[in-house]
Amino acid sequence: MRQIIAMGGGGFSMEPENPLLDQYILEQAQSNRPKVCFIPTASGDADGYIQRFYHSFENHPCRPSHLSLFKNTPHDLEDYILEKDILYVGGGNTRNMLVLWQEWNLDQYIKKAWENHVILAGLSAGAICWFEEGVTDSLPGVLTRLECLGFLKGSSCPHYDGEADRRTSYHRLLKNKEINAGIAMDDGVAVHYKDEQIFGVVSSRPLARAYQVTCADQEVTEIEMIPTYLGYE
């Protein structure tokens, strides 16, 4: 199956002492030691971000690597991507990330990998990028709509409870008909898609939620999606 695991926030970079979401991602692979590649393009391939990835994932049963488009980029980028089990995309500037991916044809290689059952995962920028459009802070000022890859239908908004203006901005964009209906995710929540349909919602925080968000006649409706908490109550 084609799988995408989109996190509103969380994972090793936001919850270094709480590995529940990262463990869940690894458990979806067919291999006992999956090859997981971190793609930190949205952060400008920040060294500290890459180091935190290795520090965390070297403690998991997997074979971690990372892809840089700024230095030491693999000669055959397509083969490098296709031989992985999981592609894990980090947070940062979604707009810059997508521009660079297009320049390197990485967006096409990632799509081919997904169609060949490589699991796609990520948080924030690494979550909204899979949808048709997302709510982003990639441009200075107010949060705006960004056209994304379109592997999944609709729109997406991360950090729904973690940043004060995320919910109000998503509602504003919906009411102004600047963005289509979609999924909002609190920090600590992952929405797991199989073949473009929601398979499940999981969380690393007991009170975190996801929402199906729509708008009709200037009225925004949120349908709460209660996740399966991955820890112990």
| Residue positions annotated with a catalytic role | 124, 159
- Alpha helices by DSSP H, listed for 44-177, are 47-57, 77-82, 94-103, 106-115, 125-128, 166-175
The CA-based diameter of the chain, rounded to the nearest angstrom, is 52
DSSP 27: H
Q: Residue 129 and residue 150: Cα distance in Å, rounded?
A: 8
The helices-and-strands tally (H runs, E runs) of the chain is 7, 14
Name the strand (E) or helix (H) holding 216: strand 210-216
Angle at 169 between CA 166 and CA 173, to 5 degrees: 140
Q: In 3-state terms, what secondary structure has residue 226?
A: coil
CB 145 within 8 A of CB 179: yes
Structure-token pair, residue 189: 């929540």
Q: At which residue do the structure tokens 């999606």 appear?
A: 225
